[in-house]
Amino acid sequence: MPWAGTPAAEAAVALMERLTEELGTRSSTVVHGEPVTAGGVTVVPVAEVGFGFGGGAGPAASAGGDAGEETGAGIVGGGVRARPRGFIEIKDGTATYRPLRSPWRDAAVPLAAFAAGAALPVLLRRLARHR
């Protein structure tokens, strides 16, 4: 790899090493928000935050430059995602974690049970006819 020692490749590697050093090896963590108190109940929001980064280096596209010239290009990218997971409710000295439920699960499970219940008699009648 003739571009491995180029300034762009070295900068990409240095940035990735710095990100790894600063963020550690975790790719996700739980984050607690600011507590809110009303009516004697304190609520602490809980979210899951995940992040990922990647980078690379390679030969730069040349526009007819010197054949012996060794140039390179590097790129680094990343992303962060935060999703609410629930909240901690503190009431009368007792703390309780309350997870947020998935609206898809709340709709899909009853719908699947209804569909299975509706299809079962039809399947049983067809099986009885074939015997």
pLDDT of res. 90: 94
- Distance between CA atoms of residues 49 and 51, nearest Å: 7
Residue 1 lies in a domain: no
CA-nearest of 25, 18, 28, 26 to 81 is: 28
Average confidence (pLDDT) over 60-87:
68
Average confidence (pLDDT) over 126-131:
83
Residue 59 lies in a domain: yes
Average confidence (pLDDT) over 96-120:
84
Residue 88 lies in a domain: yes
Whether 82 and 125 map to the same domain: the answer is no
Residue 128 lies in a domain: yes
CB 87 within 8 A of CB 36: no
Range of the domain at 54: 7-100
Residue 86 lies in a domain: yes
pTM over 0.75: no
- The number of domains in the chain is 2
Whether 74 and 41 map to the same domain: the answer is yes
What is the per-residue pLDDT across 33-70, written as a single tens digit (0 to 9) for each? 899 999 999 999 999 888 777 766 666 655 555 555 55
Whether 76 and 127 map to the same domain: the answer is no
Confidence grade of residue 8 (pLDDT, cut at 50, 70, 90): low
CA-nearest of 19, 2, 4, 9 to 54 is: 19
Sign of the Cα torsion 63, 64, 65, 67 reads positive
Average confidence (pLDDT) over 101-114:
80
Residue 58 lies in a domain: yes
> Between 128 and 105, whose confidence is greater?
128
Whether 83 and 109 map to the same domain: the answer is no
Whether 36 and 95 map to the same domain: the answer is yes
Whether 93 and 108 map to the same domain: the answer is no
Whether 87 and 33 map to the same domain: the answer is yes
Residue 130 lies in a domain: yes
